[in-house]
């Protein structure tokens, strides 16, 4: 790549990130492959949860404009292949846990368990502080150790930590707590 094409390559790279962010915002269960730049633009390999059509393309474009207006920071990182693979495995593990929580058959006053993933690049302590300020009762912490063991660690709003739980064990404890209508954090 010559020096004069570098600004276009960077712009195309940023557009690929913007496209992925828009698709993820519209269809969080979408799965992403690679999104390289080309000499004429960029593309992204995406597995959608359902077939998409022209109307969806317009919706993606609108979401891209909305996100662009927020001036989001997309950081370019160049990693060795093994490091990139490990990072992507961690994301897949988080998505699988989120899916398990969202699909759990637990009745609550609002209808079901609510679960979300903080995908931000912020440091863990900042994420935990924000969750505590928002009075989120349980934070599932997923690191390399949890992924290796296929388990989760729980950090409660009051700061207590429970390590090495199976996701189904956590869901069962939450279900029991809800059934008992306990106001006390019991895990």
> Does position 108 have pLDDT exceeding 70, yes or no?
no
Using alpha carbons, list the distances in angstroms from residue 80 to 43, 77, 85, 92, 143.
Answer: 22, 10, 9, 19, 19
Task: Please choose, from the candidates 53, 35, 56, the residue with its C-alpha nearest in 3D space to the C-alpha of residue 45.
Answer: 35
CATH of domain 81-179: 3.40.50.800
**In the predicted model, what is the mean pLDDT of residues 140-145?**
79
What are the backbone dihedrals phi and psi of residue 2, each rounded to the nearest 5 degrees, phi first? -85, 165
Residue with more model confidence, 12 or 85? 12
Intervals of CATH 3.30.980.10 along the chain: 3-69
Dig out the tokens for 126 from the structure. Answer: 């900042």
Local confidence band at 49 (pLDDT 50, 70, 90 cut-offs): confident
pTM above 0.85, yes or no: no
Local confidence band at 107 (pLDDT 50, 70, 90 cut-offs): low
Q: Domain 3-69 belongs to what topology?
A: 3.30.980
Local confidence band at 175 (pLDDT 50, 70, 90 cut-offs): confident
- pLDDT confidence of residue 6: 62
**In the predicted model, what is the mean pLDDT of residues 64-90?**
75
Intervals of CATH 3.40.50.800 along the chain: 81-179
Local confidence band at 148 (pLDDT 50, 70, 90 cut-offs): confident
């Amino acid at each position: 790549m010559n020096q004069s094409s570098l600004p276009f390559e960077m712009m195309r790279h940023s557009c690929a990130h913007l496209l992925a962010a828009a698709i993820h915002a519209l269809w969080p269960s979408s799965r992403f492959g690679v999104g390289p730049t080309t000499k004429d633009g960029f593309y992204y390999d995406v597995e959608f949860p359902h077939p998409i059509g022209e109307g969806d393309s317009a919706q993606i474009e609108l979401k891209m404009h909305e996100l662009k207006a927020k001036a989001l920071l997309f950081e370019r990182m160049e990693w060795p292949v093994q490091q990139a693979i490990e990072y992507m495995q961690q994301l897949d593990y988080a998505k699988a846990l989120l899916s398990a929580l969202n699909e759990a058959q637990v009745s609550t006053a609002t209808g079901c368990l609510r679960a979300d993933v903080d995908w931000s690049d912020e440091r863990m302590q900042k994420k935990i502080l924000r969750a505590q300020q928002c009075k989120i009762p349980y934070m599932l912490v997923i690191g390399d150790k949890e992924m290796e063991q296929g388990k989760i660690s729980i950090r409660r709003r009051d700061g207590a930590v429970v390590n090495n739980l199976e996701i189904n064990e956590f869901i069962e404890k939450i279900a029991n707590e809800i059934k008992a209508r306990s106001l006390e954090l019991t895990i």
